Structure 1
């Protein structure tokens, strides 16, 4: 016979839950915010030259206070009847008409005062998508939804040795732009290391046109994308079903912000791709062999 457990007040779990008063604690609101990345071909005047790739981020223009008229990441409030992930998928669809894409949770943001309306905790997500399959439509509470080019640089860097470890400070400059709008921000990241204990903090030093603390989320997401592309197959979520190795290398280069040696790159991704018997048919270009993602590469 199963033992019935009682707490110090002599209540069973069922009795405790019947008497539980949820109003004893304040309830912060919970939101989701999504970083949606894609890579597109930039227009090229010389049709004989392969188009350059550009990394882009989807932003929505706020249609109401606070930060009305500024640009924010797609997102919204989590309801009491849905999981955080379901809320992210719902907001992604309703605000931007995007669904069925790769998505992973990034980080939880809970600074007091990050939202002037009330106490808000936000779970951020990163999504990667092939832009050719997307049909972006702004939701009811957004004035507009647009892709923005990304320029991301470290402008200051300092490391101070301390008695128990060190303090590393980096300042990042992020520019977002398209044919109509230009946004910018500076984010300072401080990492305090004492033995095996690491504390990291982020501060928005300057922000032009970016709502809330979303500049921090953008900086964090770009760093996560750059790190994960080195050891996972995450980049293939940005590719069409068939692609050339040169196109794939360009995607890696635009995310990492540096040129890669072709021979070394092809050795690195050799197990991740499968050669097909198809070739490109672009006018003005020499036909190139097409490849597809190898879904079994992790077992090799």
Structure 2
């Protein structure tokens, strides 16, 4: 005995409905992925006896096509009809920058109706973290150039306003990106409207110099997420080489968080996630320092 298939109000089974379904009855926006690829590297310095300072860097590509021809943007591109968002992100990352096999996570969907002058485009942003020394970055076919930009991020103003429903917290965030003598900049207003247990967040670009599309908002959001996640996850180790000193690891935390940390407190915090090796640094001008490695979660619970 076969079961009677379910039929809708028009008397159609699901296969019958799908056979005559007309997808053109709804407008379909384009979908893109945009990649925020961060690394931490040593700054140039003249004093070889001093431990090199670290800098947070972001990979940008110079647009070789309209719109925003000649401006700098995040690597990314359109999602095809037969691939997932993750597949599109990995494909675009490799095709535009020659990078693959790095830590990557989905961050946020950006859907303002006027965010792209070409057409209605919804973008899903991804954050990738990598040790720069293991990468060979090259610009793809539709990019004029690809370069690492040193990122400076600061909150220049905070204002709290009481409302009938709760309060609004407004922050003005400035960002400056440097590559050689070239400087890009942006100011983003972030407003959190709190109504009881419900919070809505809005981001608005006040100014952007040289940064294409709404990518200044994506950069601000990614840095905020990175700062939050480094406090309670092992995400920082994706920026480290296989072996590192504790001072180097502390510098990575400090450059991301934008503040100095007490060495003793930091070492207590990360004691369970690093393992001492039998190797030491051999840099000229420095006393040898013990090298450590990341201790994976499975090893900690063995």
What's the TM-score bracket when you normalise by the shorter of the two chains? over 0.9
Unpaired runs of at least 5, structure 1: none
In the alignment, the residues of structure 2 paired with residue 198 and residue 95 of structure 1 have an alpha-carbon distance, to the nearest angstrom, of 36
Report the CA distance shift for 1:255/1:203 in structure 2 as closer, same or farther (over 3 A).
same
Q: After TM superposition, which residue ranges in structure 1, 4 or more long, deviate above 2 angstroms?
A: 296-300
Identify the residue that residue 191 of structure 2 maps to in structure 1. 190
Find the residue that maps to 1:18 and give its secondary structure. Answer: helix
Identify the residue that residue 282 of structure 1 maps to in structure 2. 283
Find the residue that maps to 1:269 and give its secondary structure. Answer: helix
Identify the residue that residue 209 of structure 2 maps to in structure 1. 208
By how many angstroms is 1:4 displaced?
Answer: 1.4
By how many angstroms is 1:180 displaced?
Answer: 3.7
Structure 2 counterparts to residues 180-259 of structure 1, below 5 A: 180-259=181-260
Structure 2 counterparts to residues 43-58 of structure 1, below 5 A: 43-58=44-59
Check if 1:299 corresponds to 2:301.
Answer: yes
Report the CA distance shift for 1:9/1:42 in structure 2 as closer, same or farther (over 3 A).
same
In the alignment, the residues of structure 1 paired with residue 214 and residue 44 of structure 2 have an alpha-carbon distance, to the nearest angstrom, of 33
Identify the residue that residue 25 of structure 1 maps to in structure 2. 26
Identify the residue that residue 10 of structure 1 maps to in structure 2. 11
By how many angstroms is 1:276 displaced?
Answer: 0.7
Find the residue that maps to 2:171 and give its secondary structure. Answer: strand
Identify the residue that residue 135 of structure 1 maps to in structure 2. 136
Superposed CA deviations along residues 44-68 of structure 1, whole A, max 9, x for unmatched, are 2111111111100000000011000
In the alignment, the residues of structure 1 paired with residue 196 and residue 8 of structure 2 have an alpha-carbon distance, to the nearest angstrom, of 41
Alignment RMSD, CA only?
1.0
Structure 2 counterparts to residues 47-86 of structure 1, below 5 A: 47-86=48-87
Structure 2 counterparts to residues 174-185 of structure 1, below 5 A: 174-185=175-186
By how many angstroms is 1:3 displaced?
Answer: 4.5
Find the residue that maps to 2:150 and give its secondary structure. Answer: strand
By how many angstroms is 1:42 displaced?
Answer: 1.1
Superposed CA deviations along residues 199-235 of structure 1, whole A, max 9, x for unmatched, are 1110000000000000000000000000000000000
In the alignment, the residues of structure 2 paired with residue 231 and residue 15 of structure 1 have an alpha-carbon distance, to the nearest angstrom, of 51
In the alignment, the residues of structure 2 paired with residue 212 and residue 298 of structure 1 have an alpha-carbon distance, to the nearest angstrom, of 43
Unpaired runs of at least 5, structure 2: none
In the alignment, the residues of structure 2 paired with residue 289 and residue 2 of structure 1 have an alpha-carbon distance, to the nearest angstrom, of 70
Find the residue that maps to 1:115 and give its secondary structure. Answer: coil
By how many angstroms is 1:298 displaced?
Answer: 6.1
TM-score (normalizing by structure 2): 0.97
In the alignment, the residues of structure 1 paired with residue 3 and residue 32 of structure 2 have an alpha-carbon distance, to the nearest angstrom, of 41
TM-score (normalizing by structure 1): 0.98
Identify the residue that residue 270 of structure 1 maps to in structure 2. 271
In the alignment, the residues of structure 2 paired with residue 36 and residue 295 of structure 1 have an alpha-carbon distance, to the nearest angstrom, of 23
In the alignment, the residues of structure 1 paired with residue 252 and residue 69 of structure 2 have an alpha-carbon distance, to the nearest angstrom, of 34
By how many angstroms is 1:2 displaced?
Answer: 4.0
Find the residue that maps to 2:38 and give its secondary structure. Answer: strand
